[in-house]
Amino acid sequence: MPWIARTLPVAGQGLRRYAIYVPSGLGAGPRPALLAMHGGAGTAMGMAASSQLTKFAQERQIYAVFVEGGGALQTFNGGACCGTAQSQNIDDVAFARAVIADVRANYSIDPARTFATGFSNGGNMAHRLACALAD
């Protein structure tokens, strides 16, 4: 599978991780990107395995970006929820912005077709990103 594991520094958070799925036979020109976030206590690769988003990405020829939560139980700060990420006020919006910037710097991404989805706590985070990163 064409996976690339990435780490990047995020101000005040140290190194954070994500993995990007690059479809085989990817055509030229900017392609859409989909950020996918796991549920609380999940993992980025668990989300990839359970969601079938890599199959979707391959069929649609888009980048699938699986973001790793933070803290002992791997959560995202969706605002009013969940776990360590919320209780420690982790700035996961800044993390998502850094992931998007990193992906755009390294791959031909169409900025007008960058999307987010998630499961459970990751769904909360996707909703928060829709509001906070509408740009």
- DSSP result, 77-129: --SS--HHHHHTT--HHHHHHHHHHHHHHHS-EEEEEEEEEESTHHHHHHHHH
pLDDT of res. 81? 85
pLDDT of res. 37? 98
Tens-binned pLDDT, residue by residue, of the chain (135 aa): 489 999 999 999 999 999 999 999 998 899 999 999 999 999 999 999 999 999 999 999 999 999 999 988 999 999 988 889 999 999 999 999 999 999 999 999 999 999 999 999 999 999 999 999 998
pLDDT of res. 135? 86
pTM of the model: 0.95
Could you identify the residue written with the tokens 């996918």? 36
CA distance 59 to 41: 29
Could you identify the residue written with the tokens 């392609």? 31
